[in-house]
């Protein structure tokens, strides 16, 4: 080979090597920036992943039958990849689910905590790894969550308290009504807020002697079976003399109703919350005097909107804030409403309210007719 040909070959080989090195460098740059999928500009248009962590199925049917489908729908409509898991009441399971979600690339966690301690641990771990956390429905006390979406939970309790007062007033009869309070889980901050709300209505009645409190107990983990046992014990201790039950949600209310029926006792006013199918049917049948309807679709949509913005690297703005004991958390609150037999029809057709054909099925049909449904 001539010396000129050799020089040309060396030049070609050198140029090829430079192209190869440059190409490898480009791959390294794009791979190194993969953690910022939410940033704007070249190749970063795809939003980050979202992980939804639900608490259980026992405390309320809402988590699986209402929240899950509406959250799924909202994320799919926005083109945001989201996983939805349920810890089924196990705190260690929920922490493992959070850890796995972060490992799998989640940039936002939508958390319904099982208690504030485990919730705060999840939020602290997420923060240390650059993952945003939204407290959904339940505030994590003394935590590092970035946002909070819920209802005005003291207002929920006030509606329950006033509902019981109104139902007892409508019932007539003499004497001093004997009241039992069947509270939610002692580890759920919402249960604390509900109780604060209904006690603000009932305590003045206890103080002036209009009502008498004969029982007041929390139900661990909102467990309906435990609620049944607790309320049976309340009836036993009071010689069945309970005239009204402030039950913190429809499941606890149904437990009280079941205990009353097992003892073949008369119907008495029982409150509830969540406007579940069971709760609405109990109202139609006269076994429950009221519930609190919380438009869960609005709550789910509000939380999804914040999560989607965070997944896209944006900073969502909300109108409220609440102090969690450690810091002020930007918050969004939806409005609850009281539902009685008289206004059930006003909410038929709402996407997260039981359908008329479900409410009025089977043995409830004749009661629906009497109620004008």
* 250 neighbors 279 (Cβ within 8 angstroms): yes
pLDDT of residue 172: 54
Pair 155, 197: CB distance under 8 Å: yes
Total residue length of the chain = 373
The token duo for 193 is 């807020």
Give the distance between the most distant pair of CA atoms in the chain: 121
Domains of the chain, residue spans: 49-151+296-334, 153-295+337-371
What does the H/E/C string look like for 172-188? CCCCCCEEEEEECCCCC
Helix 189-207, helix 153-171: angle, nearest 10: 40
Q: Using the 8-state DSSP alphabet, how is residue 67 labeled?
A: I
CATH fold, domain 49-151+296-334, is Rossmann fold (3.40.50)
Average pLDDT score over the chain: 88
Contacts of 196 by beta carbon, 8 Å cutoff, 6+ apart: 154, 157
E strand or H helix that includes residue 159:
helix 153-171
Confirm whether 49-151+296-334 and 153-295+337-371 share one CATH topology: yes
Q: Give the tokens for residue 91.
A: 């705190």
**What pLDDT, on a 0 to 100 scale, did the predictor assign at position 26?**
39
DSSP at 59: S
Task: Taking the CA atoms of 291, 292, 298 and 301 in sequence, report the sign of the dihedral they define.
Answer: negative
Torsion of CA 133, 135, 140, 143, to 10 degrees: 20
Give the pLDDT confidence score for residue 59 in this predicted structure.
79
Q: Using an 8 Å Cβ cutoff, are 153 and 188 in contact?
A: no
316-330: per-residue pLDDT in tens?
989 999 999 999 999
Q: DSSP letters along 317-330, please?
A: --SEEEE-SSSEEE
The domain defined by 153-295+337-371 carries CATH number 3.40.50.2300 = yes
Chain segment 56-111, per-residue pLDDT in tens = 998 788 899 999 999 999 999 999 999 999 999 999 999 999 999 999 999 999 99
What DSSP letter does each residue of 285-348 carry, written as one string?
HTS---EEE--HHHHHHHHHHHHHHHHTT-----SEEEE-SSSEEEEEEEPPEEE-TTTGGGTT
Residues of the chain with pLDDT under 70: 1-44, 170-174
pLDDT of residue 171: 59
Predicted confidence at residue 55, as pLDDT, reads 96
Q: How far is CA 267 from CA 173, 337, 360, in A?
A: 13, 24, 20
């Amino acid at each position: 080979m001539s010396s000129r040909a050799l020089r040309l070959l060396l030049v070609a080989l050198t140029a090829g090597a430079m192209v190869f090195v440059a190409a490898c460098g480009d791959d390294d740059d794009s791979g190194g920036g993969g953690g910022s999928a939410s940033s704007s500009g070249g190749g970063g248009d795809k939003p980050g992943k979202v992980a939804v962590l639900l608490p259980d199925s026992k405390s309320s049917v809402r988590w699986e039958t209402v929240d899950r489908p509406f959250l799924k729908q909202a994320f799919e409509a926005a083109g945001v990849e989201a996983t939805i898991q349920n810890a089924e009441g196990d705190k260690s399971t929920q922490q493992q689910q959070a850890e796995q979600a972060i490992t799998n690339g989640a940039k936002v966690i939508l958390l319904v905590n099982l208690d504030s301690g485990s919730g705060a641990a999840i939020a602290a771990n997420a923060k240390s790894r650059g993952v945003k956390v939204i407290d959904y429905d339940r505030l994590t006390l003394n935590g590092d969550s970035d946002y909070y979406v819920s209802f005005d939970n003291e207002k929920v309790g006030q509606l329950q308290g006033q509902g019981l007062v109104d139902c007892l007033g409508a019932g007539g009869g003499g004497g001093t009504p004997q009241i039992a309070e069947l509270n939610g889980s002692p580890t759920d901050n919402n249960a604390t807020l509900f109780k604060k709300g209904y006690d603000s209505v009932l305590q003045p009645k206890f103080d002036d002697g209009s009502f008498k409190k004969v029982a007041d107990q929390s139900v661990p983990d909102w467990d309906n079976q435990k609620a049944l046992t607790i309320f049976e014990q309340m009836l036993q201790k009071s010689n069945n003399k309970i005239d009204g039950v402030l039950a913190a949600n429809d499941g606890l209310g149904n437990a009280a109703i079941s205990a009353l029926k097992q003892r073949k006792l008369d119907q008495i006013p029982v409150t509830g919350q969540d406007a579940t199918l069971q709760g609405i049917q109990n109202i139609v049948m006269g076994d429950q005097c009221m519930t609190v309807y919380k438009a869960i679709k609005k709550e789910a949509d509000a939380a999804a909107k914040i999560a989607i913005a965070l997944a896209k690297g944006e900073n969502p703005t909300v109108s409220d804030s609440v102090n969690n004991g450690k810091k002020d958390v930007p918050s969004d609150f939806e409005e609850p409403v009281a539902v009685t037999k008289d206004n059930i029809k006003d909410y038929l057709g709402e996407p997260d309210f039981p359908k008329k054909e479900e409410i009025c099925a089977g043995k409830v049909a004749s009661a629906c007719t009497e109620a004008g449904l």
